[in-house]
Structure 1
């Protein structure tokens, strides 16, 4: 990919995270990236195509970072803990999760797809790790991996909301601590 299209995608990723879809105008993308209108439309058919490239890149990056943690050595709980405790800019929120609050993204099936696929993948991957832990006796047999995975994702996304509402990372940290305490209680049985 050319450096011009890379600058456009990276700029759009940042603007979507900061301002959402409506607030990410072609003019704002051009100004921040330093790319002219002609060059922008040479590489992308329009704002929706550029936004799709940016959202897809953000989703792929999130999956890659998460997969590295979940496929690392260690017990299931250690790997889930690594995912929950990974460094995040909690006050900015999740760059994929925030898109679910954007009505324009959620109304467009093409823009919505990478968001849906990412969360489905994340729940599925966490469920696999938790099932592995259950099957190895690290977690109790009655544990429902799919429900627990959904709860872990909800804790992360809800933790972002709490942190943003409080203006402090403490809300996120407390939510993660609570989830890990519940997992620890299951492993102690």
Structure 2
């Protein structure tokens, strides 16, 4: 792995673990096994390196999630695939956690990939819900954008509750509850 890639990967890991404020250039260098000169040769400073790391994390999340959304199956099955996918719940979302970091939120540049990723996620989910409505899978009258926002809020809120309680129980319960509410309509006899 090249030095810039090692620096980006180290920054990604530290941002997820410690947040922007808790990630120092020295910690990045140590984690990457790179010297100060190497870091500043490839990046203008911590904000530049953090932006590269945030962008890579956001791109990776969109790629992985996009594969789940593009998988065969009903709208419900694809949403369930996203909600039930394997994830490190107690670590939280590597993108969503950045919204709790005041320096990321205050920086339009650092916040942009976070905003774009969340907007992309909501848009893709809304489109899948609309497909489900068009196919008669879901209860008529559901508002796709509202359901998409609910799905994202359930996942992100579930991460917060899981981290606070140090157990995945609240996350799992939120996912089960949401899936029960979205369960496809069944014909009544």
- 1:140 is displaced (CA, Å) by 2.4
The 8 Å contact of residues 135 and 141 in structure 1, kept in 2 or not, is answered as no
Please show how residues 56-75 of structure 1 align to structure 2 within 5 Å: 56-75=55-74
**Consecutive unaligned residues in structure 1, runs of 5 or more:** none
Runs of 4+ in 1 over 3 A off after TM superposition: none
User: 1:97 maps to what in 2?
Assistant: 96
TM-score of the aligned structures, taking structure 2 as reference length? 0.96
- 1:188 is displaced (CA, Å) by 3.4
Please show how residues 1-189 of structure 1 align to structure 2 within 5 Å: 3-184=2-183, 187-188=185-186
TM-score of the aligned structures, taking structure 1 as reference length? 0.96
In 2, distance between residues paired with 1:115 and 1:7? 22
In 2, distance between residues paired with 1:111 and 1:188? 45
Q: Cα deviations across residues 113-147 of structure 1 (Å, max 9, x unaligned)?
A: 00000000000000000101101111122111110
In 2, distance between residues paired with 1:146 and 1:121? 12
In 2, distance between residues paired with 1:110 and 1:188? 47
In 2, distance between residues paired with 1:138 and 1:177? 18
Q: How many residues were matched structurally?
A: 187
In 1, distance between residues paired with 2:22 and 2:165? 24
RMSD: 1.0
